[in-house]
Amino acid sequence: MSLLSRQVQPAETYLAKLTSADWAILAKRRVLLKGGKGQYAVMVATPTDAETAWAVLTDYENFHRFLPTVVKSRVIQSEGGRTIVEQLDRRRILLSTVESTVRTENLEIDRQQISFRLLEGNLQHMYGHWRLDAAPDALVGKAAHLLVSQQVYAEADVGPFKSMFYNLFETSLVDTVKAIRAEMERRAVASEKAQ
């Protein structure tokens, strides 16, 4: 039994908190990152349809093909909408290369939200969710039909290096959501060409 919530948050819960400056960032196709110190919301707008976007977010076996620091990914267990995924992450930190294995539980809800939590890894905790929501009319006019967002809470026991951890984590969030959007758009173009 999963400890993750099966409830989908109403989009208004967080979209109403966005400022006009936030919407301007999204309209320019830039990544919106809000929060800090282990609590983040990251969002991008894309013209990709929801079906293609969902296929990318749930393509666990192929994360290593399009996520920047994932070098290996595999599904450990899958049961209904619950999937346990193991990833080998490799990144350069200062003068060394650091590898870590992360195992997450992912709960897919209504093809709109994926709630996740860390089961094993080198963080104290990490949990949150990915969301797909229809873009508001103001963005649809700019060829963005979908908002892809992630809320994540993460902490690591790194002693005096906590601020460095937060900086690296924030950079990783932005790089990851950019890579996910790029893969969504690549697949959408490939699908259009195939028709």
Residue 12 has pLDDT above 70, yes or no: yes
Lowest mean pLDDT among 29-43, 82-96, 115-129: 82-96
pLDDT of 97 higher than 80 = no
Give the pLDDT confidence score for residue 164 in this predicted structure.
86
pTM of the entire structure? 0.92
Asked if the model's pLDDT at residue 140 lies above 80, the reply is no
Distance CA 108, CA 54 (A): 10
Summarize pLDDT for 161-192 with one digit per residue, the tens: 888 889 989 999 999 999 999 999 999 999 88
Q: Set out the domains of the chain in order of their start, with CATH numbers.
A: 19-194 (3.30.530.20)
Q: How confident is the model at residue 2 (pLDDT cuts 50, 70, 90)?
A: low
Describe the strand order of the beta sheet including 96-109 as a list of residue ranges.
32-36, 39-46, 146-155, 125-134, 113-120, 96-109, 82-93, 70-79
Give the model's confidence band at 122: pLDDT under 50 very low, under 70 low, under 90 confident, else very high: confident
Strands (E), 39-145: 39-46, 70-79, 82-93, 96-109, 113-120, 125-134
**4: confidence class by pLDDT, cuts 50, 70, 90:** low
CA angle (152 as vertex; 150, 157 as ends), nearest 5: 155
| Termini Cα distance of the chain | 41
